[in-house]
């Protein structure tokens, strides 16, 4: 669910997750209060700036930031939407976002601690769902993507940002990125239309000490 910009940051979290399954909530709870770093804030700003280019009439739209972590990306996007709901399975991560909302006196945002991997029925609706470096930590992505499809209003947009597939990365803790064509095929089978994606950022040693690139994918319901 979260951005890892430098190998030391990534190794810190892998040490916490060692021997555990993808997306271990308890371990992310442990690092919530020290998750924010200048490096993560910098890449979050880059991601948010790219997402903004895909938002149409956002002031009339309701959005969800799924797998929001500490809200580094979503806090950059609050002013773009009528409302923004921050959702994460880690209660401590959600608490971090809640504190930021209170301190900034933001009126159009709220938080929800919820795990879409476990929750079979979700009473939420949105025009935009943002999933920024979240799929990377979800073991079975299709069920979660299907739930996101259900939540979206007709004509709504699912905006995914994650790493492009890197076959040199082998890990039991995270996916090695995603093949955009394979991901688009999964989304189309679920029912999404007009799937478009592009690589927009490349960095040195971004992902498990490997050079990596980030893509954005826009899928319309």
Taking a C-beta distance cutoff of 8 angstroms, is the pair 63, 81 a contact?
yes
Please give the pLDDT value at position 2.
32
Please give the pLDDT value at position 119.
65
Q: Per-residue pLDDT tens for 1-42? A: 333 333 334 444 444 333 333 445 565 555 445 555 678 889
Strands (E), the chain: 62-66, 83-88, 109-113, 126-132, 152-163, 193-207, 210-220
Q: Per-residue pLDDT tens for 59-78? A: 999 999 999 999 999 999 99
Coil vs helix vs strand at 47: helix
Is 145's pLDDT higher than 60?
yes
The whole-model pTM stands at 0.84
Q: Per-residue pLDDT tens for 147-204? A: 999 999 999 999 999 999 988 777 777 888 999 999 999 999 999 999 999 999 998 8
């Amino acid at each position: 669910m979260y951005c890892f910009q430098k190998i030391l940051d990534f190794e810190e979290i892998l040490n916490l997750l060692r021997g555990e399954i993808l997306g271990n909530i308890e371990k992310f709870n442990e690092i919530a209060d020290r998750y924010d770093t200048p490096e993560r804030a910098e890449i979050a700003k880059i991601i948010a700036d790219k997402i903004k280019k895909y938002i149409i009439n956002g002031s009339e739209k309701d959005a969800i930031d799924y797998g929001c972590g500490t809200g580094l990306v979503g806090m950059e996007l609050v002013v773009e939407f009528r409302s923004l709901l921050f959702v994460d399975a880690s209660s401590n991560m959600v608490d971090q976002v809640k504190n930021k909302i209170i301190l900034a006196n933001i009126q159009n945002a709220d938080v929800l601690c919820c795990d879409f991997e476990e929750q079979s029925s979700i009473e939420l609706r949105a025009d935009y769902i943002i999933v920024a470096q979240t799929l990377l930590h979800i073991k079975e992505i299709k069920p979660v993507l299907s739930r996101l499809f259900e939540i979206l209003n007709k004509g709504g947009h699912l905006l995914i940002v994650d790493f492009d597939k890197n076959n040199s990365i082998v890990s039991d803790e995270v996916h090695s990125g995603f093949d955009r064509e394979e991901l688009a095929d999964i989304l189309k089978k679920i029912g999404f239309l007009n799937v478009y994606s592009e690589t927009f950022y490349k960095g040195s040693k971004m992902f498990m000490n490997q050079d990596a690139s980030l893509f954005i994918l826009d899928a319309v319901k």
